[in-house]
Structure 1
Amino acid sequence: MNPYLKKLYELSQAPGRTIIGLMSGTSLDGLDVALCRFEGSGLGTKTSVLQFKTIPYPSVFKEELKSISFKEQVDLQKLTLLNAYIGTYHGELVLQCLQEWGITAGEVAIIASHGQTIFHAPISKHQKNCWPNATLQIGDGDHLAVKTGVITLSDFRQKHVATGGEGAPLAVYGDYLIFSSPDENRILLNIGGIANFTYLPSGSHADHVFSTDVGPGNTMMDQYVQLHYPGMAYDKDALLASKGLIQHELLDALLEEPFFDLPFPKTTGPELFNLHYLDLALAKGSGKPTHEDILATLCEYTAITITEAVERAVAALNLNQEQVLNYEIYVSGGGMHNPLLLQKIQDRLQKTIRNTNELDVDPDAKEAVLFALLANECITGGRLDFGSRPGLPSVLMGKISLPT
């Protein structure tokens, strides 16, 4: 028997596993590396985050990624080269982290790699009804496994698509296992490049759990800053947006997008919400807003789309008009560091927003931890039953790459 297959069998039977989760999001700013320890599986999983680090990408590498990301036409040779390069590069970054943490690769059971999304194409985006939902992440798992010598699981989103989903958001699976509560209804809001949330009813009732994208998180604000303020990756502490005035004509044009009227669950990405989309909205107006005005408007726009989605979901969950669903919101992702955006969301929902530190998971590490958890579920053979609702197939995800 191949020794790695034997190791996989032994890992599936072991009481616990050490797994590294890797996440690189649509912001293209760096790699999140989370060293996790899992005991058990399913709702009985015990999760510990042992180490976490975000490694920023060099500017040259970011530009290479941008040249092939979220575009319908790209250089196919560059895409092919980067698929192999990213796998090996992420492996190098993992080894650097392990050396820094004083841990050997042999002490790690599995690496769980999300890869790098370069195009997300649900039917709602491509509008070609004879074609399926589709998504593409690059950063080959075999290259990562060979570089590190560690069994690697990758390409998690394809099984989700193959079984009827749109390939996103996948956070619902990990959110359900880690953050379900016996007595508190929870909304886990993640504000990355794209904003999404998971609703977790009290009592861990899987048949009532759901997750959906809601629209742009940081992506349009970040893209605008990077274009007009060279050397800046984002509007730190919303200092620019705070100086601007909301342009209501522009805001109304941005909110005309049909995506917002689609039923839940739904997914989207920077393929739709980008600077071209902003330019089309600007062209409908007559004024000449400043950069600060545009950023203020984009911040307001993001807050509105998030809060309206949450309110719409909560309204649908109410049993009748006289019942009000009590829930708490826990935030994660880069958007939680935008004080203006968070204040707007809190004001609109009239809720105090906490972050997942209160649930014992670093909010910056959350997505990397969730992919490590998906790998743990795949290896331990657990099977979560979410019923037969659209967008939430009850599947195990991850393709296995052996080091040799």
Structure 2
Amino acid sequence: MHRLAHLARQPSRRIIGLMSGTSLDGLDVALCRLHGHGTATRLELEHFATVPYEEDFRRRVRQVFAREQVSLEYLTLLHAWLGREHARMVLACLHEWQVAPAEVDLLASHGQTVYHAPAHQHQHPDFPGLNATLQLGDADHLAVGTGIITIGDFRQKHVAAGGEGAPLAAYGDFLLLSSPAEERLLLNLGGIANFTYLPRTTTDASSQHASAAFSTDTGPGNTLLDTVVRAHFPGHSYDEDGRLAAAGTVHATLLKELLAHPFFTAPLPKTTGPELFGPAYLQAAQAGTHTLGLPVEDLLATLVELSATGVARAARLALGEQPAVAVYASGGGAHNPVLMAALQRHLPACRFASTAALGVAPDAKEAILFALLANEAVAGQPLSMGAGRQRVPAVRMGKISLPD
């Protein structure tokens, strides 16, 4: 506790942020130097790497990922094993960067989401109205394995305070990427697509600006695209540069059936996951439209259009029929030129760029944001954003695991 109090008083902290997304491509490891806290936060990215997951790693996680029924023994063992594996990967990165663990103040671990259950999605009769989410990768194993104070399990406080546990990017986006010069949409195209809306900052940044900022999921990002590629092309995990989708044609009837899901017309903000937008959702839509034999290129082209339409619909719900804001993209989908072109077509008045234009590496952005949340947990104050349905709970997130 003395060490934590000392860290809170320091002018800056060196924090590693970890992110493992639903795409299961690897562990993002971002070593950051954070100065100050709150709206005065300044962040420097010292090192970044994505440690790729081996196929055996993915296989183990997929045993429980987004499944309603799993082996409780397997789930329990996987929780500990993931913590140890992530600790090993962190130490490997530090060794490569020639940074001693003792030179790092905090480790911020998102963990691996294996099930996301907002109330609107699960509809379980025993738990009406209850939001829940589950991330594996025990933080105590990370702390002991690395010797670094670890902050993990960030999403639970958000749920406890009335949120859905996602998306959490709003907190970091607000603190790090707000601007007095322009309205911004920070668009993350991961397995699930989400964005944070940031109005222009004002001199009264703690009230007017904060009350208008909010974050929401929009629907599938890459999750269905990657699922189809893995099923049809063993050894490949995604459609590189969108080449397959670019060779296909959108199937209008299938697209209409996919978009008929009530999620797309539900009010903002909202969250979802592969539990909803998974293989069963796609297969049911294909069966209902007699498109189970659709060429894979046409299927991927249709799914790109689905992702882009989901983002565009949410943007219009939030900002009006002709939103004209600066959109800064990150996540794996930001590297897909076919998806980015579809987004530009759906939102012609918006200006699109990568978050690199803001000085934030797009592949590192989510890991960086968890480092920022850890910094706020130790040195900051609860931050309130949004109003009404779009209000973001004013909480400090994360559980602290000591290395001894």
Q: For the superposition of Structure 1 and Structure 2, which TM-score range results when normalised by the shorter chain?
A: over 0.9
- Contact in 1 for aligned 2:324/2:351 (Cα 8 Å): no
What's the counterpart of residue 355 of structure 2?
A: 356
State how far apart, in whole Å, the 1-side matches of 2:213 and 2:354 are: 20
What's the counterpart of residue 144 of structure 2?
A: 146
Shift of 1:342: 0.2
Q: Which blocks of at least 5 consecutive residues in structure 1 are unaligned?
A: 317-323
Deviations 1:201-223 (CA, angstroms, capped at 9, x unpaired): 10141011010000000000001
387 and 366 in structure 1: CA distance in 2 versus 1, 3 angstrom threshold: closer
State how far apart, in whole Å, the 2-side matches of 1:286 and 1:167 are: 37
State how far apart, in whole Å, the 1-side matches of 2:386 and 2:288 are: 44
Shift of 1:228: 1.2
Aligned match for 1:314, one of 310, 313, 319:
319
1:226 has 2:230 as partner:
yes
State how far apart, in whole Å, the 2-side matches of 1:44 and 1:242 are: 43
State how far apart, in whole Å, the 1-side matches of 2:16 and 2:134 are: 22
Within a 5 Å distance, the mapping from 1:23-172 to structure 2 comes to 23-128=19-124, 130-172=128-170
Aligned match for 1:296, one of 286, 290, 301:
301
Deviations 1:71-128 (CA, angstroms, capped at 9, x unpaired): 1001111111110011111011000000000100000000000000000000111113
CA RMSD of aligned residues (A): 1.3
State how far apart, in whole Å, the 2-side matches of 1:6 and 1:332 are: 38
Deviations 1:338-378 (CA, angstroms, capped at 9, x unpaired): 11000010112113310111111101000000000000001
Q: Which moved more, 1:41-50 or 1:286-295?
A: 286-295
What's the counterpart of residue 343 of structure 1?
A: 341
Q: Which blocks of at least 5 consecutive residues in structure 2 are unaligned?
A: none
What's the counterpart of residue 376 of structure 2?
A: 377
State how far apart, in whole Å, the 1-side matches of 2:52 and 2:145 are: 20
State how far apart, in whole Å, the 2-side matches of 1:344 and 1:257 are: 21
State how far apart, in whole Å, the 2-side matches of 1:65 and 1:301 are: 26
State how far apart, in whole Å, the 1-side matches of 2:290 and 2:132 are: 38
Question: What letter is aligned with 1:10?
Answer: H
1:260 has 2:270 as partner:
no
SS in 2 for 1:17: strand
Aligned match for 1:286, one of 287, 290, 296:
290
State how far apart, in whole Å, the 1-side matches of 2:387 and 2:248 are: 47
Q: Which moved more, 1:381-390 or 1:167-176?
A: 381-390
Question: What letter is aligned with 2:261?
Answer: E
- Contact in 2 for aligned 1:194/1:217 (Cα 8 Å): yes
State how far apart, in whole Å, the 2-side matches of 1:254 and 1:130 are: 26
Aligned pairs, how many? 393
State how far apart, in whole Å, the 1-side matches of 2:80 and 2:302 are: 39
- Contact in 2 for aligned 1:387/1:394 (Cα 8 Å): no
State how far apart, in whole Å, the 2-side matches of 1:332 and 1:81 are: 33
Question: What letter is aligned with 1:399?
Answer: K
SS in 1 for 2:166: coil
Structure 2 length normalisation: TM-score?
0.95
Within a 5 Å distance, the mapping from 1:209-220 to structure 2 comes to 209-220=213-224
State how far apart, in whole Å, the 2-side matches of 1:131 and 1:348 are: 34
SS in 1 for 2:356: helix
Shift of 1:387: 6.1
Shift of 1:388: 5.6
What's the counterpart of residue 394 of structure 2?
A: 394
Shift of 1:13: 0.3
- Contact in 2 for aligned 1:112/1:153 (Cα 8 Å): yes
State how far apart, in whole Å, the 2-side matches of 1:62 and 1:325 are: 39
State how far apart, in whole Å, the 2-side matches of 1:192 and 1:311 are: 20
State how far apart, in whole Å, the 2-side matches of 1:130 and 1:177 are: 34
Shift of 1:183: 2.2
State how far apart, in whole Å, the 1-side matches of 2:184 and 2:215 are: 12
Shift of 1:43: 0.4
What's the counterpart of residue 321 of structure 1?
A: none
- Contact in 2 for aligned 1:220/1:274 (Cα 8 Å): yes
- Contact in 1 for aligned 2:38/2:380 (Cα 8 Å): no
- Contact in 1 for aligned 2:315/2:323 (Cα 8 Å): no
State how far apart, in whole Å, the 1-side matches of 2:15 and 2:277 are: 33
SS in 2 for 1:239: helix
Shift of 1:382: 2.0
Q: Which moved more, 1:202-211 or 1:148-157?
A: 202-211
SS in 2 for 1:174: helix
State how far apart, in whole Å, the 2-side matches of 1:371 and 1:249 are: 40
Detail structure 1 runs of 4+ shifted over 6 Å in the superposition.
none
Q: Which moved more, 1:231-240 or 1:164-173?
A: 231-240
